[in-house]
Structure 1
Amino acid sequence: MTTVRALISTAVKKGWDMYQLDVNNAFLHGDLSEEVYMTIPQGLLVDDSGMCCKLKKSLYGLKQASRQWYDKLAQVLFSRGYTHSDSDYSLFLRKTGTSLVFVAVYVDDIVLTGTDVGEISSLRCFLHDKFKIKDLGKLHYFLGLEILYKDTGVLISQRKFTIDLLKEFDCSSYRPVLSPLESTVKLKANDGVLLKDPTHYRKLVGKLNFLTHTRIDIAFSVQHLSQFLQSPREPHLQAAYHVLRYLKSDPCLGIFLSNDKNCTVTAYCDSDWAACPDSRRSVSGYIVLMGDSPICWKSKRQTTISLSSAEAEYRAVRKVVGELVWLERLMTELHVPCNLPIHVFCDSQAAVHIARNPVFHERTKHIEVDCHFVREKLQEGLIELHHIPTEEQLADVLTKPLPSSKHSIILHKLAVSYSPPT
């Protein structure tokens, strides 16, 4: 999804047209590279009941189907001079002189964009001859993401999915709220009565997780609720329904990708030390912006226990730096000038000092690998680490439940809104 958002943001900033294709019966086009047999299908009469069918082509339901379809599509694109991205194999590109065309693929959904409108039109005809595609015209709906074009950019939302979700879980009588989780509530793994049907909770959290592709505002809440999937209880379900009540307040909310020419990449990272009351693990969060448009974010509980808030913050820095290493390669392939160093903002003075200090001591030797990685990228000039006040930390929304006023202020700064700024 980061690749899709980065590609759309690049196209918007450079003024490229975006088109969408859908391949009919995609998995049936795959050529099998190994022997696969299947039982006689119902309705086919044979004399010998011990016979079976040897497949010459791929079928829906085969474990190999998706891989064989990808191989088939890749071969067709390779024959036309395209190569796949080294950062993401679902992205193909072709550059010849001033012509630059990108093809983003997700199973049978394809997005085309670039500078060469003639090549894009020719490629659409070429793919139709090979696979029989459905040309959906200008990009408006892709992987559940709704693209709404404005004079100053595009708004990406999941409005239809959100409305359907509210209907599915019968939220018509619920009163809307202004924040996804109450800041005073602390959920624990063993508090409350076990749910008789845990699949209801798991289904709800799974659908909420899909919404985080455009809803930065619920990313922390969803990762927090995901910690209780194994044995969900009544308080966990109530908290999940609280998120639904928040979604009801504005189901059309999404991220706005500006057409401003600024492509400067900046990142914010934060952590909430020992946030989990059961394991005492910290929560890391980061967000990456291209100009003023959010293209990448993450909220995740750390895998180990941090012995201090400085250590927790430093692990958050390491997470975002790891993402930036990959993102810088992707931006280079998208032909977006990624001005180095990339500015990373952290609200912990201690974490900034640890990154800049070349000497290890008692407090940092147990996170030596993290220290080496961040310092190496700092010395290479990939990143530049800055301290900012906590009230200016945009990643705060990804590490803890916030009061509704602060929650709204951060979302406004992140261009999370229904209507783009004027």
Structure 2
Amino acid sequence: MVRVLLALAASKSWKLWQMDVKNAFLHGEIDQDIYMEQPSGFQSKRHQDYEGKLAIVLVYVDDLIITGDNDSEIERTRENLFVRFQMKELGELKHFIGLEIDQSNKGRFLCQQKYAKDLLKKYGMLECKPIAKPIEVNARLCSEEGKDLEDVTMYQQIVGILIYFTLSRPDIAYAVGVVSRFIQIPKKPQLEAVCQILRYVKGTIDLGLLYKKSGVCKIVGYCDADYGGDHDTRRSTTGYVFNLGSGAISWCSKRQPTVSLSTTEAEYRAMAMAAQESTWLIHLMRDLHQLDDYPMILRRDNLSAFCLAENPVFHARTKYVEVHYHFVREKVLQEEIEMSHVKTDDQVADILTKGLSNTKFTEFKKQLGMMTKAEL
């Protein structure tokens, strides 16, 4: 949600403000029953009250981001919050739940530079030799290979920190997903893989996502699957990413829950996960009054899965694909999603499903809207 708001604000040239609620109430005890009712004036139909003045408030516990398309409406919202709560004005948005937001002539830049430095310093990697990518091509990690670690605590702590680091770093999402599979009983090869991620982070410590001032708010998605890529279970890995304007706002790199019997099945499972995410994004953009009447484009490089979504005649030949994955077909018929074929060499979602060559890895990072602070 934070990335969506940043991308939207950048494309529309909206200002972003931050406020804080005094959080003493979080530690208080409730000594009586509390009942809630629907606020007066609530309308069940969406967009009914929207008159061209929009103020958006994003709340995370006691931290708030406020933005919108009308300065007077934003100011009125801020004043109302001060009347009803004990608030602290923090000015224009710069930090939010560990994320750093910089404003430049190009747009809004999201990174976790301090978080990266603290991570490397804590585990003695601040002076390590950097490398060009977080995981090697055809990297093979198995639970039964390698020497046991005497103490698994450090491994578990680093992986936990890296998972949070993926909030702004889709480039390490696949590598972190792989090492997290071994968090219960890691071995020496897995620890070496974690150290490789840290060495990559050292060389890209100020890398982040740039959301440009483009005025373009169209969402485009990419999805892919690496068939049978997990050497322990032979499950496939789903990868998808959605860009809003110039930068990535949502991504996933996740091992599929069951073994797929073909590349088509693995790809179609990935497509189904991406379709679910696209549905959530569509509803979110509608709530923000920013969705035009167009289907969301979902690009993939597997022709069999593409035909399966577009043509119901193929369904009879693929009965092993679970019925609920035909959710994708329904979304295509409802014109919420438009399937689009993309060449394998241009499949950005590959960065979330497998280790890549240096050339491809660098190119896909650019397509995700990633750059360093020095490049701003």
TM-score, normalising length: structure 2: 0.92
Q: Are 1:13 and 2:11 matched, yes or no?
A: yes
* 8 A Cα contact 2:308 2:315, kept in partner: no
Any residues of structure 2 matched to 1:136-285 within 5 Å, and which?
Answer: 136-285=90-239
* 8 A Cα contact 2:117 2:126, kept in partner: no
Residue matched to 1:61? none
Offset from partner CA, 1:154-195 (integer Å, 9 cap, x none):
110001101111101111341100000122430111211222
* 8 A Cα contact 1:288 1:295, kept in partner: yes
Residues of 2 paired with 1:157 and 1:309: CA distance? 35
Cα 1:28–1:268 change in 2 (3 A) is closer
Residues of 2 paired with 1:15 and 1:151: CA distance? 10
Residues of 2 paired with 1:325 and 1:218: CA distance? 25
Residue matched to 1:27? 25
Any residues of structure 2 matched to 1:18-417 within 5 Å, and which?
Answer: 18-28=16-26, 32=30, 34=32, 97-359=51-313, 363-417=317-371
Cα 1:312–1:28 change in 2 (3 A) is closer
Offset from partner CA, 1:284-332 (integer Å, 9 cap, x none):
0000011222111000000010001111111111110111111101111
Residues of 2 paired with 1:285 and 1:235: CA distance? 24
Listed as ranges, the gaps of 5+ residues in structure 2 are none
Helix, strand or coil: the match of 2:289?
coil
Residues of 1 paired with 2:369 and 2:214: CA distance? 13
Structure 1 window deviating more from structure 2 (356-365 vs 324-333): it is: 356-365
* 8 A Cα contact 2:7 2:245, kept in partner: no
Cα 1:138–1:379 change in 2 (3 A) is same
Query: Which structure has the larger Rg over C-alpha atoms?
Result: 1
Amino acid at match of 1:158: Q
Q: Percent identity?
A: 39
TM-score, normalising length: structure 1: 0.83
Amino acid at match of 2:70: D
Amino acid at match of 1:134: K
Amino acid at match of 2:276: G
RMSD in angstroms over aligned alpha carbons? 2.6
Residues of 1 paired with 2:11 and 2:65: CA distance? 17
State how many pairs are aligned.
376
Shift of 1:355: 1.2
Residue matched to 1:55? none
Cα 1:338–1:398 change in 2 (3 A) is farther
Residues of 2 paired with 1:315 and 1:14: CA distance? 35
Structure 1 window deviating more from structure 2 (335-344 vs 309-318): it is: 335-344
Residues of 1 paired with 2:216 and 2:360: CA distance? 27
Shift of 1:131: 3.1
Shift of 1:418: 1.3
Residue matched to 1:59? none
* 8 A Cα contact 2:208 2:373, kept in partner: no
Helix, strand or coil: the match of 1:316?
helix
Helix, strand or coil: the match of 1:298?
strand
* 8 A Cα contact 1:343 1:384, kept in partner: yes
Amino acid at match of 1:364: T
Helix, strand or coil: the match of 2:67?
strand
Structure 1 window deviating more from structure 2 (112-121 vs 258-267): it is: 112-121
Shift of 1:338: 3.7
* 8 A Cα contact 2:211 2:245, kept in partner: no
* 8 A Cα contact 2:282 2:291, kept in partner: no
Listed as ranges, the gaps of 5+ residues in structure 1 are 36-67, 87-92
